[in-house]
Structure 1
């Protein structure tokens, strides 16, 4: 009898194992803990992306959909985020080796209607575009619907989006720093001790005391950039007459022979006018890629067009502390006419479409 009981128990155990082994396991897995690694800060008007959604082991593929957006008061503001605006996007692969002029680039661009912030339905990446210029500043939270083969759920207020304003054109210190220096007239060589320390450099770095500038966005369209360089008194250096010229590159037979400037970034739309340089740019950010030395534009003012103050060296400088000419403690007189060209480096990069005017005033230079 004992053997029969043992045999029965073994048989039941085997049957249980077989039945368990044949039981169908549910399809896929959808974690209740999907999340983002951090919140998303958007500078209005700029293209930017959040981190990918952290799926916490959920089965792929997933489909993510934006459900609701709330403002800081908790009110639903879906209408602001679902409204579409015209946005320029790529329609073909950009090749920097061949797409070197305005027409070639614009041939691979098209205008589409898009909401200012969209969600990539497979990765969950939040993608902001130039349409965010139309959204109010502030903080927002987002509900997402996440779905896969295991089901679907709505994750409430999964990420915070903060809309802030930034500089539509970055000059300094974000993109680089102004530099003012002397060149031996008609050459690429620095002026050495005669021009101050560091091989003729008058000042190189943030808070340049010799440079005062203003940047103005004067229209939403077209995409135009205007650069004007003036002396301490506001007298313009005339690019058309060669008063603002390319800066030679140093070395023997350098390639390229000149340091890069606006003309190199937009050769077919660049114009040197009497009062300014102007160009039409195809896209933002502009320039899209650096031609070397970051996003700096290099120019020189030939000696016959400029009289330059001689100053003692500035080891450093505080923000807003600008050179005061003859009243400045650094003032030492003027350099002998005909000896030195004035070299200026101008950092700039455009991030928001529109029409801009940059006026650079050289406080230690007088037009002649």
Structure 2
């Protein structure tokens, strides 16, 4: 009997040794890794960072590799998302109130030639940069590979993102007034019409033109419109370069988006104010108490640019005619 018990005990011990030699699976790598917010909406021309991938409880650490991005319709490799474009990256903290010259700005940034999208191998998140302005609108699909101590798994068509054209600028309500020379009398003339046109993805340039109701430009070089005391002007927001004047325009190289970068004094914000003396323009009949030219025209307008590029901004005073005395 004792011998029988010993044999049974030995059998259990042997089985334990056999099972203990069986290879144990290292960690866990889910088959359900996914992007919860797919399809991801991405506005072209601005910096956007997406949410990390959901690893569905996979054993950390998990690393990710972007295998391919394709046009979701044609299934062709999205070459433009892999093409290098020049863009700046900040390498140290930039102080908007102190670093107000190009020389100071350049101490904090570095020119990079790189694709418009970056993939984070630790989180599976994407960062889209302003150079996506060069990529076609559309929906794109992508594949990734996930790897941990368990091994690697490929996830084809794991998610999609859609590139769309959003607003390149924001406009707020403006206004206008006449003021009678030598008195405190004034009246309303309505807000000017402001049109913003992006002409190129290249550069960081705004070309501002102030025109009369017929589209005839006022000449900034001849002071046909002037600053209004301590109010903001276009020059107020030209932080890194002086304005370049022509007979019809003022150009500002703004270097860094958004423009304006910093608001003006309280109560003025991003609004730009100008005065057109009465000897350079006349208002439509009936807007002023008398028909003489002793009235200045005072437009104000507000806009903000959010993408790099070259822009034409035209401010049209709808009820005035340029007429130089």
| TM-score relative to the length of structure 1 | 0.70
Residues 210 and 315 in structure 2, CA contact (< 8 A), matched pair in contact too: yes
SS of equivalent to 1:131: helix
Name the counterpart of 1:365: 320
| Separation of aligned partners in 2, 1:342 and 1:291 | 18
Aligned to 2:222, what secondary structure does the other structure show?
A: coil
Q: CA deviation at 1:79?
A: 4.0
Whole-angstrom CA distance in 2 between matches of 1:104 and 1:285: 18
1:224 corresponding residue in structure 2: 205
Match of 2:239 among 237, 261, 266: 266
Counterparts in 2 of 1:364 and 1:115: CA distance versus 1, 3 Å: same
Quick one: which of 280, 283, 288 aligns to 2:253?
280
Change over 3 Å in CA distance of 1:44–1:242 after alignment to 2: same
RMSD value, Cα: 3.8
* Partner Cα separation in structure 2 for residue 33 and residue 186 of structure 1: 74
Q: Which residue of 2 aligns with 1:345?
A: 301
Contact 1:260 1:291 (8 Å CA) reproduced: no
Structure 2 match to 1:307: 282
Give the Cα–Cα distance (whole angstroms) in 2 for the partners of residues 135 and 344 of structure 1.
36
Match of 1:317 in 2: none
2:126 & 2:162 partners in 1: Cα distance? 12
SS of 1:105's partner is helix
The secondary structure found in structure 2 opposite 1:176 is strand
Q: How far apart are the structure 2 equivalents of 1:29 and 1:155?
A: 16
| In structure 2, distance between residues paired with 1:285 and 1:212 | 18
Cα distance in structure 2, aligned partners of 1:54 and 1:273: 55
Q: CA deviation at 1:262?
A: 4.4
Deviations 1:117-157 (A, max 9, x none): 22111122211224323433321111111223333211221
Looking at structure 2, the residues matched to 287 and 342 of structure 1 have their Cα atoms a distance apart, in angstroms, of 21
How has the CA–CA distance of structure 1 residues 151 and 349 changed in structure 2, closer, same or farther, with 3 Å as cutoff? Answer: same
The match for 2:270 is 296
Deviations 1:179-210 (A, max 9, x none): 122264589x9x6xx52xxxx4734xxxxxx4
What are structure 1's unaligned runs of at least 5 residues? 204-209, 249-256, 310-325, 327-331
Secondary structure in 1 matching 2:190: strand
| 1:20-169 matches, cutoff 5 A | 26-38=25-37, 39-73=39-73, 75-77=75-77, 79-167=79-167, 169=168
* Structure 2 unaligned blocks of 5 or more: none
Give the SS at the match of 1:100: coil
Matched positions, count: 310
Secondary structure of 1:240's aligned partner: helix
Q: 1:214 to 1:71 in 2, by over 3 A?
A: closer
